[in-house]
Chains A and B, each alone.
Chain A
Amino acid sequence: MSEGRSHKGQAPAQAGRSQTEATHTESVNSNTLLAETTRFPDQAAFAELFRSYYGRVYQVLYRLVGDEADDLAQEVFLRLYGRMPQLIGVDVGAWLYRVATRLGYNALRAAQRRERYRDALGHAPDGDGWQGTTPDPEAWAEVHATQQRVRQALGRLAGRQARLLTLRSSGLSYREIAAALQVAPGSVGTLLARAERAFKRVYGSLPGGAAETGDVP
């Protein structure tokens, strides 16, 4: 169960929180809470958005977190569901990619932190065994090791760089990337070139990564 889902078990804390917020928000606009709690999203419109964007959001997340992408994609859309009334007039695609890459990157970093703790404690990593999706365990192990290395490198990059590379790799245009990461479209090339150099450097510095980096002409 992912961290985000445990909120159901935290109902009392949530209730306490809403009260604090209510006290504060009322001084701003007394309609705010009423509006937020009574306007539920349009189900048909939500389903349409879900169908249009699920594949892309999943693609983006899978690159960052692998099999955890299912759970995180659900979480991304749950956030969309919760915020739909407030997202009128907003570029939903950009919003989804923004939230997805942020959650994915954070999850990747968290997983790597857990990995480090486990290493430090001398425990074997979990969830790393052959899962039988390919017939050949050796080939699987090799692909898996490369994937691990690529994700490790992404996790060591600054968030924006990792997210940028992930979005580009998922096939987004510069315009879409700019909207998702809230940067000027004209700066995407610069940011991308910089992120790619950083990625190369970080990847090359990882154990097993150096052997592969002799590919500059």
Chain B
Amino acid sequence: MRGVTRGKLRAYLDGEVDARTAEAISAHVQQCTRCQRRLAEVRANARSTSERLGQLAPAHRPEASPALAQFRAAAGNATAPMGRWQHMETKRIWRTALASLVVIGVVVGLASFAPARALAEQFLGIFRVKRFAAVAVPPNQADMEQLEASLEQALEAYEPQVIVDEPVVDVSSIAEASELAGFQVRMPGYLPFDGSPTIQVKGRTELASTIDRDALAMLLQTAGMDASAVPADWPGGEVRAIAPATVSIEAGAEQVVSILQVWNAEIQYPAGIEPSLVGEAALRLLGLPAAQAQRFSRSIDWTSTLLLPVPSRLASFQETVVAGQQAILLIAGDPARGEPGEAHVLLWEKDDVLYAVIARTNLEALTRTAESMF
């Protein structure tokens, strides 16, 4: 066994791994000082977190019966508790979408680094998402775990911070959504699931991650490249993802289709830099063979392409066309593992708006939903 990831160690501490894995972990940790340290760290974090959150436990036992009586009294007065109660479940999608933008932004931001140019340039490069490119990441399980472990370490320092988080507002029509969001919101004429659509508009969202020299050098090193490409006096910088307005349309009940429309999404990064060099590092880090990583990174327009690394065991992808635009279809689940996976995602850009249609449905219905918006 090679190094054990923090995640495995965490589950091991909670007795949430099977007996064989637990034995293997225990045997490995006994003879690996690095993992001993890691285990001690994971254990200390787990303990201090659990103690602190333990302080929040209620001092009294909640009682269901009086609460149920109160509920009945209130529900008796409420006429139709439908509709409104079906909203507001999109926060996860907002966050997932935007957070992944930042994580990808970090990779892309790293990709924008080059020592040749004057680093004194203070301006921010602006990366306006215009198209998507997907790249498959090798399916090998051991590699993936290794990658997960190194990415976990490497990207931890970049965990995005919320800078601006304007609220989500429920609206009752597309016209209202368009007015509030400041762009022409589109409603699909076709939806794969029954149920009244709910429309929400979220104001500006900004997430930022700070990158420093050490982390950048480590990323290069982990990718097997020359870390001296990062000058010793590189001051570091910030990657920022900005979505001025985002609209979500959701329809369905236990099966839900979500349509996200993000206007003028952009990623800012410390600029003045040759993109393809660290792009290559990022791709190598993601497990692409060196030659392939180089070829791929040189073929991409890094100033406008949002690169989506797709781990083959989680999803596959294919290129397609929506409304005459190049689009990427991420197909969830690895058939080899027989897992249903998460929702499929169809992504494209048109007239400065990024569109995503997300649903656990067949691909035909997904494409039909997308096409019916134009």
Q: Are A189 and B85 in contact (CB under 8 A)?
A: no
Q: Are A24 and B82 in contact (CB under 8 A)?
A: no
The interface residues of chain A lying within 8 Å CB-to-CB of B81 are 78-79, 81-82
**Minimum C-beta distance from B260 to chain A (A):** 16
Q: Which of A19-45 contact B (CB under 8 A)?
A: 20-22, 24-25, 27-29, 31-33, 35-37
The interface residues of chain B lying within 8 Å CB-to-CB of A8 are 77-78
Q: Are A189 and B48 in contact (CB under 8 A)?
A: no
Q: Given A37-B80, A69-B58, A78-B78, does the pair A196, B49 have CB atoms closer than 8 Å?
A: yes
In the bound assembly, the distance between CA atoms of A165 and B45 in angstroms comes to: 12
Q: Are B197 and A24 in contact (CB under 8 A)?
A: yes
Q: Are A51 and B68 in contact (CB under 8 A)?
A: yes
Other contacts beyond A98-B89, A191-B7: 13, CB < 8 A: A54-B64, A55-B62, A62-B58, A74-B74, A82-B86, A169-B56, A192-B7, A193-B9, A195-B49, A196-B45, A199-B52, A203-B52, A216-B45
Binary contact readout A61-86 vs B (1 if CB under 8 angstroms, 0 otherwise): 01110100110011001110111001
In the bound assembly, the distance between CA atoms of A36 and B193 in angstroms comes to: 14
Q: Are B57 and A89 in contact (CB under 8 A)?
A: no
The interface residues of chain B lying within 8 Å CB-to-CB of A199 are 45, 49, 52
One of B7, B67, B85, B339 near A187 (C-beta < 8 A): B7
**Minimum C-beta distance from B276 to chain A (A):** 30
Closest to B171 in A: A17
Q: Are B41 and A216 in contact (CB under 8 A)?
A: yes
Q: Are A51 and B64 in contact (CB under 8 A)?
A: yes
Q: Are A78 and B49 in contact (CB under 8 A)?
A: no
Q: Are B53 and A150 in contact (CB under 8 A)?
A: yes
Q: Is the interface of A mostly helix, strand, loop or mixed?
A: helix
Q: Which of B198-231 contact A (CB under 8 A)?
A: none
Q: Which of A63-116 contact B (CB under 8 A)?
A: 63-64, 66, 69-70, 73-74, 77-79, 81-83, 86-90, 98-99, 102-103, 105-106, 109
Q: Which of B311-359 contact A (CB under 8 A)?
A: 339, 342
Interface centre among B11, B14, B189 (most CB of A within 10 A): B11
The answer to whether the Cβ of B2 comes within 8 Å of any Cβ in the partner chain is no
Q: Are A193 and B6 in contact (CB under 8 A)?
A: yes
Q: Are A102 and B9 in contact (CB under 8 A)?
A: no
Q: Are B55 and A25 in contact (CB under 8 A)?
A: no
Q: Are A54 and B68 in contact (CB under 8 A)?
A: yes
Q: Are B88 and A102 in contact (CB under 8 A)?
A: yes
Binary contact readout A47-64 vs B (1 if CB under 8 angstroms, 0 otherwise): 100110011001100111
The interface residues of chain B lying within 8 Å CB-to-CB of A154 are 53
Interface centre among B12, B89, B148, B165 (most CB of A within 10 A): B89
Interface range on chain B (Cβ under 8 Å from partner): 35 or more
The interface residues of chain B lying within 8 Å CB-to-CB of A105 are 91
- Name the 7 nearest CB pairs between A and B, nearest first: A190-B7, A189-B11, A86-B253, A58-B62, A169-B53, A17-B172, A82-B81
Q: Are A17 and B83 in contact (CB under 8 A)?
A: yes
Give me the interface of B with A, judged by CB distance under 8 Å: 5-12, 14, 16-17, 40-42, 44-50, 52-59, 61-62, 64-65, 67-68, 70-71, 74-75, 77-86, 88-89, 91-92, 95, 99, 148, 152, 156, 159-160, 162, 165, 172-173, 187, 189-191, 194-197, 253-254, 339, 342
One of B49, B99, B253 near A87 (C-beta < 8 A): B253
One of A11, A24, A151, A196 near B56 (C-beta < 8 A): A151
The interface residues of chain A lying within 8 Å CB-to-CB of B46 are 192-193, 196
The interface residues of chain B lying within 8 Å CB-to-CB of A14 are 83-84
The interface residues of chain B lying within 8 Å CB-to-CB of A151 are 56
Q: Are A25 and B91 in contact (CB under 8 A)?
A: no
The interface residues of chain A lying within 8 Å CB-to-CB of B152 are 190, 194
The interface residues of chain A lying within 8 Å CB-to-CB of B187 are 24
The interface residues of chain B lying within 8 Å CB-to-CB of A182 are 92, 342
Closest to B16 in A: A174
One of A156, A168, A187, A193 near B42 (C-beta < 8 A): A193
Q: Given A55-B64, A160-B95, A174-B14, does the pair A198, B75 have CB atoms closer than 8 Å?
A: no
Q: List 26 A-B contacts (CB under 8 A).
A: A17-B172, A17-B173, A29-B194, A37-B82, A58-B62, A63-B56, A78-B78, A81-B81, A83-B253, A88-B254, A102-B91, A102-B92, A103-B88, A133-B59, A147-B55, A158-B95, A169-B57, A174-B16, A182-B342, A190-B10, A190-B148, A192-B46, A196-B10, A196-B45, A200-B45, A200-B49
Q: Given A189-B14, A200-B45, does the pair A36, B89 have CB atoms closer than 8 Å?
A: no
In the bound assembly, the distance between CA atoms of A137 and B14 in angstroms comes to: 37
Q: Are B44 and A18 in contact (CB under 8 A)?
A: no
The interface residues of chain B lying within 8 Å CB-to-CB of A217 are 40, 44
Q: Are B48 and A213 in contact (CB under 8 A)?
A: yes
**Minimum C-beta distance from A106 to chain B (A):** 7
In the bound assembly, the distance between CA atoms of A29 and B44 in angstroms comes to: 55
Q: Given A133-B59, A174-B14, A191-B7, does the pair A54, B67 have CB atoms closer than 8 Å?
A: yes
Closest to B161 in A: A156
In the bound assembly, the distance between CA atoms of A106 and B202 in angstroms comes to: 14
Q: Are B85 and A169 in contact (CB under 8 A)?
A: no
Q: Are B7 and A189 in contact (CB under 8 A)?
A: yes
The interface residues of chain B lying within 8 Å CB-to-CB of A62 are 56-58, 62
Q: Are A7 and B56 in contact (CB under 8 A)?
A: no
The interface residues of chain B lying within 8 Å CB-to-CB of A54 are 62, 64, 67-68
